[in-house]
Amino acid sequence: MSQAKKGDLVKVHYTGTLDDGSTFDSSEGSEPLQFVIGEGMLIPAFEQAIVGMAPGDSKSVHIVAEEAYGNYMEELVFEVPKEQIPPQIVPVEGLQLQVGQEDGSTTPVKVVKITDDKVFLDANHPLSGKALNFNLTLVDITGR
């Protein structure tokens, strides 16, 4: 039976949980996640966990925050004067927004605090600063 290696197109069922046991993502009930090992589309430690597995194999992996979405960085929380928020947007804590960048790209941010004259936005990934746990099952290796 073949084992998954870098460059293989694989299909994986997974459930991702945090250390408190809460589930943040899962492929159960839908199609398995399909990706090429080593292309960098996913967290490298997630991709590396699949290497050496054969179809039907299951395993659990723990990925520390530094190897997942990185540590939470306070410097990615910034304030914006309320008058700079477009009038059609009513800021409330937890609201997800897109902030335009000079190069034309956008960055997702979350409203984390509101004062009388300022809105505080957090550009950290929602899973930054958190260790991730995955239950993985390799469904198929289809080559490339």
Who contacts 12 (Cβ-Cβ below 8 Å, separation ≥6)? Answer: 27, 32, 33, 34, 35, 50, 136, 137, 138, 139
Q: Which domain holds residue 136?
A: 9-70+127-143
62 shares a domain with 13: yes
Is 143 a residue whose pLDDT tops 90? Answer: no
Instruction: Give the pLDDT of residue 99.
Output: 86
57 shares a domain with 32: yes
Residues belonging to the chain: 144
Number of structural domains (the chain) is 2
Assess if residue 24 is contained within a domain: yes
35 shares a domain with 54: yes
Q: Which of 139, 144, 143 is nearest to 53 (CA)?
A: 139
What pTM, to 2 d.p., does this model score? 0.83
Q: Domain holding 98: CATH number?
A: 2.40.10.330
64 shares a domain with 104: no
Instruction: Give the pLDDT of residue 101.
Output: 85
Rounded to the nearest angstrom, the gap between the alpha carbon of residue 23 and the centroid of all alpha carbons in its chain is 13
Helix (H, G, I), strand (E, B) or coil at 22: coil
Digit-coded pLDDT (tens) for 58-110: 999 999 999 999 999 999 999 999 999 989 999 999 999 998 888 999 999 99
Is 144 a residue whose pLDDT tops 60? Answer: no
CA distances from 124 to 57, 69, 143 (A): 34, 9, 35
